[in-house]
Amino acid sequence: MLQIGMKEINDRYIKEVEDNFAINQLTNKTQLEYLDNSTAKYHGMTISYLYVPKLFPDHVVDYLSDQVTMIYSILDKVIKEYLTHADYRALFGFDKRLEELILIDRLYETTLPIGRVDIFLNEEDLSYKFCEFNADGSSSMNDDRELNISIQYTDAYRKMQERYDLSSFELFDSWVEEFMNVYSTYQKKVEKPKVAIVDFLEKGASLEEFEQFSKSFKKAGYQAEVCEIRDLRYVDGQLYSPSGMQIDAIYRRAVTSDIMEHLEEVPDFIQAVKDQKVCLIGSFCTQVIHNKILFKLLFEERTQRFLSEEEKQFIKEHVPYTVSLSETDCNIAEIIKNKDRWIIKPEDSYGAQGVFAGIHYSVEEWERIVKEHLDNHYMLQEFHMPYQSRNVQMNSENQQFRNYSNLMGLYVYNGKFKGVYSRLSGKEIISVEHDENDAASVMVKEKR
């Protein structure tokens, strides 16, 4: 077990870069050349990345695994409560069409097959707050995979590797294994299920990642195809891919909000799910935890009623205070006056779309933003300043170390912690729209 903390090991890596900056500038060119010719793309462009990876000592990996186990237990309880109690369902206020889809029996045991819980982690004391819970649309596994390959071309990584055992999180074959573990409990399972990876493909952000997952399914001995969800065909009680492959199981990457927005464009997919003629992993019940209204409901008595004392304390420590942005729930004058304390978010979105932090606006601008979104399906949340760490973007004109805000996504496959997606930004909101940069997530152990 590595006997030093997370901040210390990351500081050692930074010092290695600073002490040998010129050679690291050169080896970054090799790293960039690899990435330019790799599948690490966002809408066709090479992803933006920082030179210093995020290092996770093995004891921190164990700690994060324990945290994932706890939050997964809570999210699982929430989904089951929603499915079995009408009064609890009413608190979420979902569209009746969506509620109908959520209540379709998935016919397998797991409620939440895949997720990524994003946290603001303090690298000095390992305290943290949750940012959001992602379900079926959890992404960016391929970015981390490619970054971990590319970083091996750099001088600092090679020097650190001489002193420590460095390795990456494996996020593809491990998902195929857990996908099949989920499928093994499916009541209508077949021996060798044919798998469709489905989304609205015109979004184009994850095609390379989908193909990588398809390769992992095929490597494990399963037929798999990446499919446009609109082009699935349901004939005589069987769902087919555009190529004519009979589909037994779906790895759903299409997020629920996109499906509901385009519901009339995916009738064959929807009917096959309603008729329980295909195994949908994950089912629509995962929307219960993806919607940000959950942050509010976790604090309410109706949720606290079915949680253990340990789980209640966990929520108190790690979930930021959240209420609906409404006249009845909020003191609007106080929110406007103390703008830096607050952030507002849509109830159902992803990629930090429609997110506003008071710290970024004048009082007048903030007042306008708050009033525009009042009683309009928005949440008001306590703003948590992200932890900052030093890093450098070698591909910029200003190749200087500076502070970046950190956000870490913890991948959860079938209830098990599998890895981390590390993102950093020069701003307090961390997303592609707000100066997001990826960094390789690297596990660190003592050399044997």
Per-residue DSSP letters for 379-405? EEEE--PPPEEEE--TTSS----EEEE
Query: Is 354 inside any structural domain?
Result: no
Q: What's the angle, vertex CA 238, arms to CA 233 and CA 242, rounded to 5?
A: 30
pLDDT value of position 112: 98
What average pLDDT does range 313-328 have in this prediction?
93
In angstroms, the CA 141 to CA 172 distance is 8
Number of structural domains in the chain = 1
When mean pLDDT is compared across 42-46, 139-143, 441-445, the lowest value belongs to 42-46
360 token code pair: 């970024």
Between the alpha carbon of residue 143 and those of residues 39, 149, 169, 276, the distances in Å are 8, 10, 12, 34
Question: pLDDT band for position 448 (50/70/90)?
Answer: confident
Query: Is 33 inside any structural domain?
Result: yes
What average pLDDT does range 112-136 have in this prediction?
97
Residue 359 or 56, more confident: 56
pLDDT above 70 coverage of the chain, percent: 97
What average pLDDT does range 314-322 have in this prediction?
96
What average pLDDT does range 173-195 have in this prediction?
98
Query: Is 411 inside any structural domain?
Result: yes
Residue 436 or 233, more confident: 233
Average pLDDT, the chain: 95
What average pLDDT does range 293-320 have in this prediction?
97
Cis peptide upstream of residue 282 (ω within 30 degrees of 0): yes
In angstroms, the CA 341 to CA 265 distance is 41
pLDDT value of position 350: 61
Give which of 65, 81, 95, 63 is closest to 289, Cα–Cα: 81
Query: Is 367 inside any structural domain?
Result: no
In angstroms, the CA 161 to CA 213 distance is 28
Give which of 409, 349, 412, 338 is closest to 376, Cα–Cα: 349
78 token code pair: 């929430």
pLDDT value of position 203: 74
Q: What's the angle, vertex CA 142, arms to CA 141 and CA 144, rounded to 5?
A: 70
pLDDT value of position 44: 87
Question: pLDDT band for position 427 (50/70/90)?
Answer: confident
End-to-end CA distance of the chain: 10
Residue 339 has pLDDT above 60, yes or no: yes
Residue 205 has pLDDT above 70, yes or no: no
Question: How buried is residue 102: exposed, middle or buried, by Cβ count under 10 Å (0-12/13-18/19+)?
Answer: buried
What average pLDDT does range 110-118 have in this prediction?
98
**pTM, entire model:** 0.94
Please give the full DSSP string across 116-157, using - where no structure is assigned.
Answer: EEEEEE-TTT--EEEEEEE-TT---HHHHHHHHHHGGGSHHH
Number of H helices, E strands in the chain: 17, 21
pLDDT value of position 434: 55
Query: Is 213 inside any structural domain?
Result: yes
Residue 117 has pLDDT above 80, yes or no: yes
Residue 1 has pLDDT above 90, yes or no: no
- Check if the beta carbon of residue 53 is closer than 8 Å to that of residue 442: yes
26 token code pair: 């050169």
What average pLDDT does range 253-270 have in this prediction?
96
Question: pLDDT band for position 43 (50/70/90)?
Answer: confident
Identify the domain containing residue 116 by its residue range.
Answer: 6-292+386-446
Residue 433 has pLDDT above 60, yes or no: no
pLDDT value of position 329: 87
Please give the full DSSP string across 215-277, using - where no structure is assigned.
Answer: HHHHHTT--EEEEEGGG-EEETTEEE-TT-PBPSEEEE-S-HHHHHHTGGG-HHHHHHHHTT-
pLDDT value of position 275: 98
Query: Is 108 inside any structural domain?
Result: yes
pLDDT value of position 209: 96
Residue 389 has pLDDT above 90, yes or no: yes
Residue 22 has pLDDT above 60, yes or no: yes
pLDDT value of position 352: 61
In angstroms, the CA 237 to CA 439 distance is 45
Query: Is 230 inside any structural domain?
Result: yes
pLDDT value of position 15: 98
Query: Is 340 inside any structural domain?
Result: no
Element (H, E) at 211: helix 207-219
What average pLDDT does range 32-47 have in this prediction?
94
**441-446 and 54-57 beta bridge pairing:** parallel
When mean pLDDT is compared across 71-75, 94-98, 260-264, 395-399, the lowest value belongs to 395-399
Give which of 2, 60, 36 is closest to 153, Cα–Cα: 36
